[in-house]
Amino acid sequence: MTPEVSIVVPLYNEEDSLRPLYAAITHAVAPLGISFEIIFVDDGSRDATVRIADEIARSDPRVCLVKFRRNYGQTPAMAAGIAQASGDVIVTMDGDLQNDPTDIGALLRKIDEGYDIVVGWRFDRQDKLVSRKIPSRIANKLIAKVTGVPIKDNGCSLKAYRASLIKKIPLYSEMHRFIPAMASIAGPKIAEIKVQHHARQFGQSKYGLSRIYKVLLDLMVIKTVASFTARPMLWFGMLSVPMLLAATVAFATTIVTLVSDGTYSLPIAGCGVIFLSSAIILLGSGAIGELVYKLGDMREHEFSGLTQQIRVRSLIIQ
């Protein structure tokens, strides 16, 4: 009896929020008339979170607790929860009561309509303006621009996915923010709906401004892997084009001065050699990239199989 929906909640030092959260989830989901399981992932909490989660699991067979030995971060916690989940639909949410479980019903209805990923949008966000909301708004604009996935709020943890899709998407580093962008490799149908957002009741926010540089680099990684993995040669080839151009200019200058004046400038000729060799090395890297991709286990054809729809017109035979 596998449940229809798995709700994955990463927890990190949430001893105060845990019981209210559990009550809110069961209260919100039970009336929907679907079978569900709750997967708590303890991300190496140092307070009573594990004990409380264990007690909840003891009293409710629908609750599963995944324990980490130390703190790994939000993305690994989500990845572990998703790996453990057995439902057809996976809902992820924060463990700090800022997301409202009553929105789960709306997310699931969207999935029923045929969307592969449904993303929550905290349209009325209850956080500090300068340190949280403004950087987040800029980041979201940037992410939408770069990845081409127009989502207004990537940072919102409340999301629903088709399990068959999300289980195939590699999650590592700090990519939970980019799951929709990452999943866009497979070309899913993505919907975004407004969800409620509450101010923090317990504890401190665990993230600060320091993650901006990480977000930028991760974004670069996603852009690379999402759009160029299948064609590393092409991409590295593009990188080498400016190098080749610079080399051509330098060599042309050298030849022109050599012919007209009978002399040439060593630095300019040297630059030509440097740029040319760099272009060649980049092309070589592209070739290695092709090799890596060919030998790897993530291929485009696999992703294309995740969300495709097949319609076959059945012939009527009398």
Partner 1 sequence: MTTATSDTARLPLSVIMPVGKRHAANIAALYAEYKVGLASLDVPYEFIVVLDGPRPEVAAALQRLLERGESLIVISLTKRFGEATALMAGFQRASGRVIVTAPAYHQIQGAELGKLVRALDKADVAIGRRWPRVGSRFEVIRRDAFHRLIATGGQRFNDLGCGARAMKRRVLEEISLYGDQHRFLPVLANRQGFRIVEVDVAQSPLDRYDGGYPPKEYLHRVLDIFTVFFLVRFTKKPLRFFGMVGATTFVIGALLVAYLAIDRLVFLHPLADRPALLLSSLLVVLGMQLFALGLLGELIIFTHARDIKDYQVDEVVRYPEAVTGNRAAAPVGTEVTRSHVV
Which residues are at the interface with partner 1 (CB under 8 A)? 44, 54-55, 57-70, 72, 75-77, 79-80, 84, 170-173, 214, 217, 220-221, 224-225, 229, 232, 236, 239, 243, 246, 265, 267-268, 270-271, 274-275, 278, 281-282, 285, 288-289, 292-293, 295-298
The number of C-alpha atoms within 13 Å of 55 and in the hemisphere containing its C-beta is: 8
CB of 20 to partner 1, least distance (A): 13
| Per-residue CA distances from 47 to 41, 44, 52, 54, 70 (Å) | 14, 9, 10, 13, 12
Instruction: Classify residue 152 by its DSSP letter.
Output: S
CB of 92 to partner 1, least distance (A): 16
CB of 177 to partner 1, least distance (A): 14
**Based on CB atoms, which residue is closest to partner 1, 5 or 195?**
5
Q: How far apart are CA 214 and CA 139, in angstroms?
A: 12
Tokens of 73: 């971060």
**Based on CB atoms, which residue is closest to partner 1, 266 or 312?**
266
**Based on CB atoms, which residue is closest to partner 1, 199 or 273?**
273
Of 2, 37, 306, the C-alpha closest to 183 is: 306
**Based on CB atoms, which residue is closest to partner 1, 62 or 122?**
62
Measured in degrees and rounded to the nearest 5, phi and psi for residue 165 equal -80, -55
3-state secondary structure of 209: helix
**Based on CB atoms, which residue is closest to partner 1, 191 or 225?**
225
CB of 306 to partner 1, least distance (A): 14
CB of 261 to partner 1, least distance (A): 11
**Based on CB atoms, which residue is closest to partner 1, 191 or 246?**
246
Q: Tell me how far apart the 2 most distant CA atoms of the chain are, in Å.
A: 91
Task: Give residue 31's Cα distance to chain centre.
Answer: 31
CB of 160 to partner 1, least distance (A): 23
Beta strands at 89-92 and 117-122: parallel, antiparallel or unpaired: unpaired
